Chain A
Amino acid sequence: MSSKFQFELVALVIFAVVIAFGVPAVMNYDGFELNTFARYLALAIVSMALALSWGVTGLLNLGQAATFGMGSYAMAMHLKLRASSGLPDFMSWNNVSELPLFWVPFNSLAFTLLAGLLIPAFIGGLIGIFMFRARIAGVFVAIITLAFLVAFQLLVINQQGLTGGQNGLTGLAQMTLFGWAFDPYSMGFYYLVAGCVTVALAIGVYLTHSKFGLVLRAIREDADRTRFFGYNVANYKTLVFCISAALAGWAGMLYTLVLEFASPTYMGVSFSLAIVIWCAVGGRESVIAAAFGAIVVNMLEGRLSDIFVEGWHLILGVIFVLVVMFMPRGIFGLLVEGAQKLRTVGRARPGHAVEPLSTTPLETNQER
């Protein structure tokens, strides 16, 4: 077990303890505050999912919001069906007289939960196969995923009778599992979301430190060399896209439960780039740091918008530009560099050569 793995495990345990005990205590077990924080936690999962593909593997996926939206709509469709007897209300407004076929299986909760993970994973896999078999890399990955996102959002907005169009899916029922209704303002629901985040992060930490993660990092550093070592780079990239998409879908499902509606803005370009921002601020190399980044930026957004009703977006933009310029590895990078400096100062006794600081992986040979 490497020291980095130990470090991340410790961080994961601290993170889990803080969100399980610290946060509810600070929030005074207030339902509204906990609901807000549960929202940040759901967003933490999607930010962490992006860290897997972007930070670890070097694939900048600007379409992460599309898979997030799929999960969110899957959950919303189930809850909409439960809330309406017969046909959902927006369908009758749009002269849809019969429940469309692809809505029917969403009557089942088990199917919905599976679909929320597997549909995004499947779509992510298709895009992955489509791109990576042709060795599309670097900027072109960003462009293709961005174009896909724009097309997908247009499609969802356009098919008003099937998806609720611009209004999204509103007036949802509460989810019931084993006879327990999920009230988004209850402690139990908060712990459900907190549990999901912890499990998702554990999966992420395990993946990055397994052999699979090692190959992914090798691909980030130099895809050609990894290919020469006999690894099928395209398959690895596709698989990480699938996993990342499934995690994003999971986050989307939770997000719908927290906010009690689904909206096409979840699949917007702005939202997708916001995910990238959270991930960059926290630190793209570590899944925990990325999750932390999502929570920090969103909390900041919440606080700033209270204080500066008008200018908070501006402040956020400035912070973001500064982070990209001066902290390319995010908060995580600051911590790592700080720790390294402490260690080198400790070791730099006379007669010993000072170890060079390791170069940041961001400046190495990125595939172009």
Chain B
Amino acid sequence: MDVIANQLFAGLSMASILLMIALGLAIIYGAMGVINLAHGEFVMLGAYVTWALQTHVGIGILPALPIVFIAVALVGLIVEKAVVQKLYHRPLDTILATWGIGIILQQLVRLGIGAESRFVKGPEILSGNTEIGPLIMSNYRIFVIFFSIAVLFVTWRLMTRTEFGMKLRAVIQNRDISECYGIESKRIFSITFAYGAGLAGIAGALITPLFSTIPTMGTGLVVDAFLVVIVGGLGSLVGSAVAAALIGEATALFSIVINDTLGRIAVLAGIILLIRFRPRGLFPTETRR
């Protein structure tokens, strides 16, 4: 029983990380149909910015979050304006272009900072564990779980309660008609992409104390996060959250029953089956294309 409770918590912790990475992807994919394979590299950039701020400027993870968000969002904005914007009419080609951008970002970091792994200290206040009976939970992981829920809430507010969100939803529904109503879809897309990249940056900042920070850390994450987006359903925020929780928990539980790797394989097989039978995901949003 103890094992299961602890695994459930580990699953939740993994789900919260997946959710934060997937949220950015979900709004980019949902809004623009762009499969952003450079997203993992945005996460990696976020992690490195945090590392740089901590070692060179002496700012801890928590105060660094806004700076990381802005820095990575700027990179995202540049990428969008320079490359992605030119490819809106060729959705499959965005997979290739963003993969190329991913290689470039990864190599720039490798050349500039080096390939060896970097370590970032977690915040002092959140060190230590909370114990409830046999359940041992790291305070930092608890914080990450709540933070990811907060990010989900903020993103949801942004999408449904602001003028920007309304315009974005309009563009998702029908780009041409929205343009007729005077919405500059190009600008909306640029901002959306930058926001998604910024979220990836924050995710990267938060996982630095949990993962080792290396230039290739993003490649594995992006596949998982993308599966979360697809399982959740096109552009559905709630879907992404549920899918992240499902995939995180399923991976954690499978790894007790079988082993870690086989658990991951089982989850991947489940995802493939799910896409086969529900290609529009668990929570499809109604769009007219």
Partners in one complex: yes
Asked if residues B103 and A316 are in contact (CB atoms below 8 Å), the reply is yes
CA distance A265 to B40 in the complex (A): 20
- The reply to whether B268 and A317 contact each other, CB–CB distance below 8 Å, is no
Which of A60, A310, A321, A363 meets B95, CB within 8 Å? A60
In whole angstroms, what is the CA distance A311 to B93 when docked?
25
Q: Is B59 an interface residue (CB 8 A)?
A: no
Given contacts A136-B276, A142-B92, contact A314 B271 (CB under 8 A): no
Chain B interface mostly: helix
Closest approach, in angstroms, between the C-beta of B33 and any C-beta of chain A? 8
CB-defined contacts of A136 to chain B, threshold 8 Å: 275-276, 279
Q: Does A161 contact B (CB under 8 A)?
A: no
Within the complex, the shortest CB–CB distance from B42 to chain A, in Å, comes to 15
Assuming the A-B contacts A144-B272, A151-B269, are A314 and B107 also in contact, with contact meaning beta carbons closer than 8 angstroms in the complex? yes
Hey, which chain B residues are within 8 Å of A368, CB to CB?
33, 91, 289
Asked whether any CB of chain B lies closer than 8 Å to the CB of A325, the reply is: yes
Q: Which of B71-88 contact A (CB under 8 A)?
A: 83, 86-87
- The residue from B96, B108, B110, B226 contacting A143, defined by CB atoms under 8 A apart: B226
> How many residues of A sit at the interface, in one of the four size bands?
35 or more
Q: Does B210 contact A (CB under 8 A)?
A: no
Query: Taking the nearest CB of chain B, how far is it from the CB of A351, in angstroms?
Result: 35
A321 near B276 (CB under 8 angstroms)?
A: no
Partner-binding segment picked from B157-165, B179-187, B257-265? B257-265
Bound: A356/B258 CA distance, A? 61
Stretch at the interface among A110-118, A152-160, A231-239, A291-299: A152-160
Residues of A within 8 A of B93 (CB): 324, 328, 362
A1-9, A19-27, A190-198, A269-277: which lies at the B interface?
A269-277
When chains A and B are docked, how far (Å) is the Cα of A154 from the Cα of B33? 29
**Identity of the chain B residue whose Cβ is nearest the Cβ of A326 in the assembled complex:** B86
Q: Is B238's CB within 8 Å of the partner chain A? A: no
Docked complex: B193-232 residues within 8 A CB-CB of A: 219, 223, 226-227, 230
Q: How far is the CB of B181 from chain A (nearest CB, A)?
A: 24
B264 x A363 contact (CB < 8 A): no
Contact of A363 among B89, B230, B265 (CB under 8 A): B89
Q: Which B residues between 105 and 160 are near A, CB-CB below 8 angstroms?
A: 106-108, 110-111
Of B103, B259, B265, the contact of A317 (CB 8 Å cutoff):
B103
* Residue of B whose beta carbon sits closest to that of A133: B276
Contact mask A137-173 → B, CB, 8 Å, 1/0?
0111011101110110011011000000000000000
Give every chain B residue within 8 A of A362 (Cβ-Cβ): 90, 93
Q: Decide if B100 is an interface residue (CB 8 Å cutoff).
A: yes
When chains A and B are docked, how far (Å) is the Cα of A148 from the Cα of B265?
9
- Cβ of A357 under 8 Å from chain B: no
- Please tell me if B97 contacts chain A, counting CB pairs below 8 Å: yes
Q: Does B51 contact A (CB under 8 A)?
A: no
A368 to B92 Cα, complex, angstroms: 10
Q: Across the two chains, which residue of chain B brings its CB closest to A321?
A: B100
**CB <8 Å contact, B261 and A157:** yes
Number of interface residues of B (CB under 8 A): 43
CB under 8 Å from chain A, chain B span 233-289: 259, 261-262, 264-265, 268-269, 271-272, 275-277, 279, 289
Judged by a CB distance under 8 angstroms, whether A182 is at the interface is: no
Q: Does B5 contact A (CB under 8 A)?
A: no
Does B25 sit at the interface, judged by CB under 8 A?
no
Instruction: Flag if A151 contacts B87 (CB, 8 Å).
Output: no
Of B97, B103, B276, the contact of A313 (CB 8 Å cutoff):
B103
Residues of B within 8 A of A62 (CB): 95
Among A146, A155, A325, A363, which residue has its beta carbon within 8 angstroms of that of B83?
A325
One of B33, B96, B265 near A324 (C-beta < 8 A):
B96
Interface pair A269/B275, CB less than 8 Å apart: no
What B residues does A363 contact at CB under 8 A? Answer: 89-90
- Tell me, yes or no, whether B104 is within 8 Å of chain A by CB: yes
The answer on a CB contact under 8 Å between A150 and B99 is no
User: Which has the most chain B C-beta neighbours within 10 Å: A138, A147, A269?
Assistant: A147
Contact call A276/B96, Cβ cutoff below 8 A: yes
Interface check B53, CB cutoff 8 A: no
CA distance A136 to B279 in the complex (A): 7
A320 contacts partner chain B, Cβ-Cβ < 8 Å = yes
Q: Does A103 contact B (CB under 8 A)?
A: no
Q: Are A142 and B95 in contact (CB under 8 A)?
A: yes
Question: Could you say which residues of chain B place their CB within 8 Å of the CB of A150?
Answer: 223, 268
Contacts of B87 in A (CB 8 A): 324-325
A131 interface contact, C-beta 8 A = yes
Is B101 engaged at the interface, CB distance under 8 Å to the other chain?
A: yes
Residue on B nearest A142 in the bound complex, by CB: B95
C-alpha spacing A263/B272, complex, angstroms: 25
Residues of B within 8 A of A320 (CB): 96, 99-100, 103
Q: A140-B230, A273-B99, A325-B86 are in contact. List 20 more A-B contacts (CB 8 A).
A: A62-B95, A136-B275, A144-B275, A151-B269, A154-B265, A158-B261, A270-B219, A277-B99, A310-B111, A311-B107, A311-B111, A314-B103, A314-B108, A314-B111, A317-B101, A317-B104, A320-B96, A320-B99, A321-B101, A324-B100
Ordered by A's residue number, 9 sampled pairs between the chains whose C-beta atoms are within 8 Å are A139-B95, A142-B95, A144-B275, A147-B272, A314-B103, A328-B93, A362-B93, A363-B89, A363-B90
Residues of B within 8 A of A (CB): 33, 35, 83, 86-87, 89-93, 95-97, 99-104, 106-108, 110-111, 219, 223, 226-227, 230, 259, 261-262, 264-265, 268-269, 271-272, 275-277, 279, 289
* A residues lining the B interface (CB < 8 Å): 60, 62, 130-131, 134, 136, 138-140, 142-144, 146-148, 150-151, 154-155, 157-158, 269-270, 273, 276-277, 280, 310-311, 313-314, 316-318, 320-321, 324-325, 328, 362-363, 366, 368
